Structure 1
Amino acid sequence: MSCWNHEWQERVGGVTAAFERLPDAERKTLEGLAYGMVAHKEAMQQIVAQVDAAGSCAGCGGACCVSGRYHFGAADLLVYLATKRPLFAPRFGNGLCPFLGEGQCLIPAGYRPFNCITFNCDLIEDRLSQEDVARFYGMERELKIIYTEIRSLFPPRSMDGPLL
């Protein structure tokens, strides 16, 4: 097992243990927030899908994703745990973002990290209407609030930042 795989497993184990220690009431709250976050991120993805964001990404080879690293955080993992979705297996040896599979993200849109779901390059953003741009960034602000609410269920700063 590579150093990155070992570290990944340790961090996933730590967040999972904290999740399992949550009292039932907080776990129920987290579940509601998690499903809300997934729906929110999927709605954000739908905005950019209107202008064929996937086609733009394929056209440039997903340069943003190829350059990205380790944005998946503890709060993102908590959403997987709360919704009982099986966790993906990162590809640490690919020399790229470990969450990038064969030409696409290993993480479904509703579960992608904040940075990944909120970033639009100029090619995409320039094709969106002003109303859609405003709506997208309004949704980004709302998404920050959901992340804050999820993190607030745990000791301060314990669920901040990326897993790696």
Structure 2
Amino acid sequence: MAGWDHEWQEAVTRVTAAFERLPQAVRLDLEELARGMVAHKESMQQLVAGVDAATHCAGCGGACCVKGKYHFSAVDLLVYLAAAKPLFAPRFDNGLCPFLGEPECLIPAGYRPFNCITFNCDLIEDQLTRDEVSRFYRMEQELSARYAEIRGMFPGRSMHGSLL
């Protein structure tokens, strides 16, 4: 547990330092991209909320969240930093996803990692219309492009991958 806390803090420090070194003009661009990403993720979440995804998730105990771990990426942290949003404290002591709180995710929908916001189990996807499913997957592709655009603001592959 202490090891994960240490690794988390080191990663947060590294990404924060890179963010703080950005020239003001680039930082303003990042802030705009971050606002767009948050709104985009919230729209994706609203789409599945229309079929009461929260009830389906509660019914199975959020099995995908329980099994998922460490998806929070450098880009996800950059979005927090650009939005000046206070960062949550992961729960490395719960034996589950460290971002899973009581009773729900510690991360607001607009700030959740790519894998978390784009995954729909069959219970949820089967409730969506064909048009909604197509829309969702188009939105997923657009979200992927948003991640790539933010990563592209930094040298090499310095902002690729998860923080842990």
Bucket of the pairwise TM-score, normalised by the shorter protein: over 0.9
1:25 is displaced (CA, Å) by 1.0
Aligned to 2:35: 35
What is the identity percentage for the equivalent residue pairs of Structure 1 and Structure 2?
A: 73
Aligned to 1:162: 162
- Structure-to-structure mapping, 1:1-164, within 5 angstroms: 2-164=2-164
TM-score (normalised: structure 2): 0.99
C-alpha separation between the residues in 1 aligned to 2:152 and 2:141?
A: 17
Runs of 4+ aligned residues of structure 1 deviating over 6 Å after TM superposition are none
TM-score (normalised: structure 1): 0.99
C-alpha separation between the residues in 1 aligned to 2:33 and 2:110?
A: 13
Q: Match for 1:55: what amino acid?
A: T
Q: Match for 1:124: what amino acid?
A: I
C-alpha separation between the residues in 1 aligned to 2:90 and 2:83?
A: 19
C-alpha separation between the residues in 2 aligned to 1:25 and 1:135?
A: 33
- Residue ranges of structure 1 left out of the alignment (5+ in a row): none
Q: Match for 2:6: what amino acid?
A: H
1:61 is displaced (CA, Å) by 0.2
C-alpha separation between the residues in 2 aligned to 1:141 and 1:156?
A: 22
C-alpha separation between the residues in 2 aligned to 1:79 and 1:156?
A: 19
C-alpha separation between the residues in 1 aligned to 2:89 and 2:149?
A: 27
Write out per-residue CA displacement over residues 51-105 of structure 1, whole angstroms, 9 at most, x where no aligned residue. 0001000000000000001000000000000000000000001000000001210
